[in-house]
Amino acid sequence: MESKWAVFSYILISGVYFKQMRLNKFESAGSEPLGEGDEKKVFVDPKNETRVISERKDAAGKDTPRQLKGRYYLGKIAHALLPGHIPDIYQAGESVDGKQTVDIERIPHSAGQALLQKLRRASQNEEPAREKLEEERLAMRGLDDDLEKIGFGFALDQNAGNYTKDEAGSTYYLETFKPWRADDVDPKELEVLFDEEALREAIDELPDEKARDECFQHLERLLALLGEEKKDTKELQENRESSLLDCKPGIEKFEATIAPFLEEQVLASLHEITSYKTVAEILSNEERNRAKEARDLVFSQLKFLQEKTNITAEDYKALYEKYMTIRRAVGVLNGGIVDHTR
């Protein structure tokens, strides 16, 4: 019944992107992970025990398809530059059911790493394992320096759980490298998380010509993806901005709805309602009901302004504060008390 499990997934292998059928689809459900963190569950590949399959958890948020491909290229380059310290990467893709996975070389767990995973699985205090891992502190920071020299200093995750040591005593960094992320300040831009020049220099120094050529090819593909993603991000943002409505009419409606309830006497008399004997009693208080209706209406007006119009963050904040004033005046019912503080 193998075909029952056959699914199509987009997989990137050796730089060629194609639609691959994965017979015996990797089913993580029910398998015990070899390691787990906040973002990923990592399983031994059931088809090849020298590899692991790292599956991104749903709550961790997804890479864009280009980011995911970029991770593959950066992983290949990093492994070629630091082969005894960065696991090889074999494929990165997304299955039809939306799970993003990366297939990576399996590195043996050091005593500290094994203990960490054991404690984590049992939901026990991880401190003893962290102390053990800290014994490798010098080697870990040395590896960070090497990664920084080749252009990966931007987004290293120095959490001790990301490092292990193989039987030969070589320290490995287990994270893959995110190539870029949305810029915090300017949504039209991307923040690149590798140093292209440092990478080029490091690749240039690779003694093996074939490895050098392959790395430059990976880098070129990565840069092409980055260029496309930058262009798309910019266009998307510009389209969003140009399709936004003028905020003025919406602001006027909001002000007209809320103004009568911001009058001092109205606010004061709403704040005077501090307790009630029966819910029915408070629900029949007409003054409060009118204010409640206005509160709900201005809330939907605010949402509209934020999502559909070109309102500035500053103007939005000012309106939001007015909304909070009416919200507190109406208050929240809580066991016979009208709570005006939330």
Where does the chain show beta strands of DSSP type E? 7-13, 16-22, 35-36, 40-45, 48-56, 89-95, 100-105, 163-165, 171-173, 180-182, 190-192, 332-334, 337-339
Q: Is 237 in the site for Mg ion (CB under 5 A)?
A: no
Q: Is 258 in the site for ligand ATP (CB under 6 A)?
A: no
By CB under 5 A, name the one of 33, 35, 37, 70 that touches Mg ion. 37
By CB under 6 A, name the one of 22, 85, 106, 165 that touches ligand ATP. 106
Phi, psi torsion values for 25, nearest 5 degrees? -40, 140
Q: How far is the CB of 88 from ligand ATP (least distance, A)?
A: 9
Task: Rank residues 164 and 301 by Cβ distance to ligand ATP and give the closer one.
Answer: 164
Separation CA 176–CA 89 (nearest Å) = 9
Q: How far is the CB of 320 from ligand ATP (least distance, A)?
A: 34
Which of these segments, 33-41, 122-130, 139-147, 267-275, binds ligand ATP (CB under 6 A)? 33-41
Q: Do the beta carbons of residue 188 and residue 238 sit within 8 Å?
A: yes
Q: Is 39 in the site for ligand ATP (CB under 6 A)?
A: yes
Which of these segments, 20-28, 104-112, 184-192, 233-241, binds ligand ATP (CB under 6 A)? 104-112
Per partner kind, with CB cut-offs from 5 to 8 A, the member of ligand ATP, Mg ion, none near residue 67 is none
Site string for ligand ATP, 266-305 (x = CB under 6 A): ----------------------------------------
By CB under 6 A, name the one of 20, 162, 285, 309 that touches ligand ATP. 162
Q: Is 162 in the site for Mg ion (CB under 5 A)?
A: yes
Buried-state track 235-267, b at ≥16 Cβ within 10 A, e below 16: eeeeeeeeeeeebeebbeebeebbeebeeeebb
- Helix H or strand E encompassing 254: helix 248-258
User: Which residues are paired to 54 by β-bridges?
Assistant: 42, 102
Q: Do the beta carbons of residue 84 and residue 170 sit within 8 Å?
A: yes
**DSSP at 135:** T
Task: Rank residues 105 and 315 by Cβ distance to Mg ion and give the closer one.
Answer: 105
Tokens for 90, please give them. Answer: 């074999």
Which of these segments, 89-97, 154-162, 185-193, 252-260, binds ligand ATP (CB under 6 A)? 154-162
Q: How far is the CB of 163 from ligand ATP (least distance, A)?
A: 8
Which of these segments, 32-40, 74-82, 224-232, 283-291, binds Mg ion (CB under 5 A)? 32-40
Rg (CA), the chain: 28
Contacting ligand ATP within 44-73 (CB under 6 A):
52, 54
User: Which 3 state secondary structure label does DSSP give 58?
Assistant: helix
Contacting ligand ATP within 163-222 (CB under 6 A):
174-175
Q: Is 113 in the site for ligand ATP (CB under 6 A)?
A: yes
User: Which 3 state secondary structure label does DSSP give 108?
Assistant: coil
146 contact partners, CB below 8 Å, separation of at least 6:
82, 85
User: Which 3 state secondary structure label does DSSP give 29?
Assistant: coil
By CB under 6 A, name the one of 37, 75, 112, 331 that touches ligand ATP. 37
- Helix H or strand E encompassing 239: helix 209-242
User: Which 3 state secondary structure label does DSSP give 282?
Assistant: helix
Q: How far is the CB of 55 from Mg ion (least distance, A)?
A: 13
Q: Would you say how long the chain is, in residues?
A: 342
Size of the site for Mg ion (CB under 5 A): 3
Q: How far is the CB of 175 from ligand ATP (least distance, A)?
A: 6
- Can you give the binding site for ligand ATP, defined by CB under 6 A? 34-40, 42, 52, 54, 87, 104-107, 113, 117, 157, 159, 161-162, 174-175
- Can you give the binding site for Mg ion, defined by CB under 5 A? 37, 162, 175
